[in-house]
Structure 1
Amino acid sequence: MFIVFSLMILISIMSPIAIGLLGEDENEIDLIVGISATGNAPTIGTLPNPLFVDIGVSKIINVRVNDSDNDILNVTWDWGDGSPLEVNTTVPAFVAIRVYNEHTWTPPIEYTQGAGGYNVSYELKVVVDDGNGNYAWRNTTILCVVPDNYGPASDIEGPSTIVAPADAVTFVAMANDTEGEPLTWTFILNDSVSDSVIGVYYTPASDPATWVWNNMTYVFGAEGYFNVTLFVSDAIGDNQTGLHNTSDRATVRSYLNKIPFVTNITVTPQSPIINETGYINVTYKIDVYDEEAEVMNATWDFDDGSPVRYNESGPMRITYTFYQSVNYTDTGEFNISFVVTDGRPGHEVYRWTVVYVNSTNLPPSVTGFSFNYSQGSFELPNVTINFTLSITDPELNLVTLNVSWGDGSPNEYYNLTDFIEGNVTLVISHAYSAVGQYMIQLWYTDNKSGLLNHSKYYNLTVKVEIPVPIIIERWSWWDYASLGLFALIPVLVVLRLYYVGRQRRLIEAQGMTLEEYRLIESERARQQEEALEHELARQMEDVKR
């Protein structure tokens, strides 16, 4: 015991001298020595205290050891961060030996992600022993420098218009972190009564200072005003505070979208009449309103064969008045239809009205329809007759004419436009092939509606005949017998010859033989019979109409 006690005193006296001789720093750690009875304890130099290191960067550390017994020394490194111990073995160390080792300190992520501007400390312990139960060690504080960390920037954008409770509403969320660290996104819904978490999301590390998007879709399911607050943090746990838990807010109004409000169609003038100008301008007006200020699109159909027309509103919560003007040149009944929508299914609103367009237009009239017979009171078969027709129209509208000749021949059609002093004149010709009376029927119109009847008829009768030859009637046997009572037979013979010759001369004077005359008489009787049948058939057809 006396020997051990004497050695401890000696070491405590000599240590300052030895350390001064080794030239170590003044911020030294007191040497701790353990001695056994089998030899002298090793010695170990000092370590800087504290020792600053960077996160994740390997740090080389050295320590000087020696042993007066020239023992082989074991140098054990306890890094203080829970990593395995490391051991260096020296050669016989009578002469001081510098032992090197390196280590990388990486604090837990909760100390570095989204945090900074401070140091994380570890306790480094270096122990040297000579294998004989003698040892010495030194401790120092490792300060792992956590650099300044900047919080993320973030933004959230909600819909710019009112949404329906059943709509899937998309929120555009974005964030930018200077260090590009993983981010935590938390969406908080406030319904003016309470807060509730509606989504928590995580995004991995990104390139530094790069925008990252994490959009979210949500259905509110109710009407009201809602605030959706986005919290974005680059930190973990308790560090999600301050600048490391930035927030932004989007306000949304959820409203049960209503169909557009639409008035009835207003027509000006209410009773349109086409006057002497030939047209009437009609203005249609309707008022529309959308509670949600959505754009409304309207479609008009005017039932006049023209293309549909369109109106569009702006995105404002005001009453819009849509106008359309139509020039009508024709009369009639027109079904006006209007449909407007805000673009949502089932939000089409329809309106209808009926417009009756009238006119002061007067119908055309026949002012003359004349012709001349070559035979005075009739015309011969197959002889062309020239007819002169005159028609007037107060508005000088085109007149459509349909001529039916009454003999079964095809109808003739004309469009009359060449008015001179209010009248249009047309010369038409026709020849009838058979004897009879024919009714010519004219149907004409200006294809307008207005005052009086604009679809009119005009009839004219034409007679076709064959003239009867002038002849002396033949005597009967009674005539001859009576004459024989007063004259002699020779006288009767002379008279008979005289009258027969005279009859033949009269027929021949008309360019015919007696035989031809008899054929004509027979044909005339047949044609008269056919004409009578044709007239009866036409009258029956008129009765059917």
Structure 2
Amino acid sequence: MQRRRDKMNMRYFPAIVKRPSLRPIHGMFIIFLVLSALFVPLIPLADAQGALITVDPPSITGPLPGDQFGVDIYITEAVGVHAWEVELLFDKKVLHVTEFIEGDFLMGGGMTSFYPYIDNPTGYASCAATGDLDHFGVWGEGILATVIFEVMGGGNSLIDIYNSTLFDRDKNPLLHMAEDGYFAGMAPYAKFTYSPSPISDGYSPAANQTVTFDAGDSYDPDGTIANYHWDWGDGTTPEDTASTVIDHVFTQPNVAGYIVNLTVTDDDPMGYEGSYDSPVIVVIRDVAVTGLDVSPENLVRPDIMVEINVTVCNYGTFSEGYNVAAYYDDTLIDEVSEASLASGQNRNSTFDLDTTGFAGGTYIIKANVTSVFLGDSNLTNNEFTSPLTIIAELPPVASFTWSPLEPLVGEVVTFTSTSTDPDGTVVSWAWDFDGDDVIDATTEIAAYTYTTAGTYAVSLTVIDDDGLADTDTHSITIRKFSSSISITASPTTISIGESLVINGSITPARVGAEVTIWHRKIGELWSILATATTNETSQYSYIWTPSDTGTYEVNASWLGDENTLAAESSIVAIEVIPPRILAIKLTGEHDYLLRENVKIRLAAHVKDSATTEPISDADVTIQIFDADGVLWVSDIMVEKLVSTGIYEWESEETIKRLRLEKGVYLVHVTVSSEGSLTTSDILAFHIDPPGEDPMQLHWILLFILAAALATTVSVWYADHRRLTRKLPELQKRMYYPSNFPFF
């Protein structure tokens, strides 16, 4: 820890080694070692203060600026010094170090290395030396280094041993003290400050602003200063004064700075001088009012708010803070402060003036701006004025109503002015019904018809008998027409595979409107079935063939247009049922016994089994099989419809001609109808040739008929099953319930 003696100007440094003082011994290295071994133990211990480092001589007086002088860094009572370092501080305006020269003290112990360092701009210099590996340390006293100084200016300077260090061979620090030196110049010392300045005031002086210079920090070491000579660096005439304070005005800006020089002369008969230079930056400081807008400025009634807009521009070199104020007839309205406005930028400030209670007349609106810093370079542009005229007459108050309040497109709207004038009468009306700034009517009551729905701005401007005007504006909404859409379906009950017609109309009539037809099964979501377009009579139509049975709901909607609202129809229910099931019954002449010379005659009775209604649009086909399933007559189409639901067929040839042999035959009739399933029926008959005895033949026929009846039943049943197995597709498509009603 370093400490300083108060009276002796000394510093103390810690150490852990104490050895007696001894003058350097010169000679052969080996002899020195022997003598060291013999005498060192006998040398008495040094003072507890350790070694002393001083400036020799401790005080220098007399050199003038430009002269050089040298001082020694001297050590006494050194004990085994192997390395050292000394750091110096000095007044950079008075002294500069030009050179360090190593002294011979440390060289007495062997080879050394020397390290000088000079930094005059900061007033600092240092030097150090260390012995090499064979260096054995030095005892006693001697010169560590010689410092060469040059005098740079007048005044005094401390030669301050700012810090010093001593080490032994083991790199242990050695206890020691240090004493500073002092330079007392004969030349005076010059220095000045100025205001305003960035250091003292926070801002630079401006062109045409008075700057005060103070040389109070100047002095003469051995007397007094007799004269102060100022060179302003701006081309003006230098000035001499015996006073330390002087004012100067720079008329032009210089952001690089004017170099101001102060030369002081002392009272010595030799007239010694000292000099000091410093740059002084001079800026342009100019905030100006460039615009003043008063709205409104004329024909203002004395009960409205007047808006005052002030534009301020910074023409200065740097950002400026400013205050802007607004007045009417020198009465303050308000003041606004702005912290910073960049160079070359504009800013607007707004003030409101309530004219309530003002008498009629002309008022002067004034705006004024001042910089927060002193020294505005141009005071001619800091103020702006504008007149404000207030009249005594009161303007009219515009207002109006309309009917109906919510009109429809195409409906006549009546507008009625309800305007008043406090001090006279309203003499003119100007209506703008659609916000296009075009006058549509000029009467007190006016009518207007809107052809398109929407919201419109309606304005009424009235003028009274004093020529004063007022305007009232309202929004009016023109509504669209309501509309409706109808829907019907025919028929509403159909069989699967059949079609129905969906149609309807839009009211009011719309040609070419798109209609969306929706459908759903009960319990399901709605979906779009189709779209249709209205014809010239506003009708739409769509034919629909359902693909599945069930109960459906359908409705229709349209989106409206620019003048008509959208609409949705009611819901129509449609029932789609399964296909019709046909019923058939066959009858024939000579049902049980036919002879060879007759023709086969059959009648097919066809009806709807659900409604029992006869069916006249069926296709009837006949096939004839024998008992063994052999096809004798194939796919004969019956085209003769004798009455509703009755189809009759007669073979073109007799049985003999058909070459039907004796035996039992089955007639298979198939009936189908569009949209219905197919059904069939079977009729049995017997063919027998004629005998000679009619009576005998009669009994024979009765016997044969009885026998054939039993046989026919069993054969028919067997053949029926066999034929049924041969017609699986017919049976799959046929509904044939167990309780099928025959005629």
- Per the normalisation by structure 2, the TM-score is 0.29
Higher strand share: 2
**Larger RCO, structure (CA 8 Å, separation 6 or more):** 1
- Per the normalisation by structure 1, the TM-score is 0.37
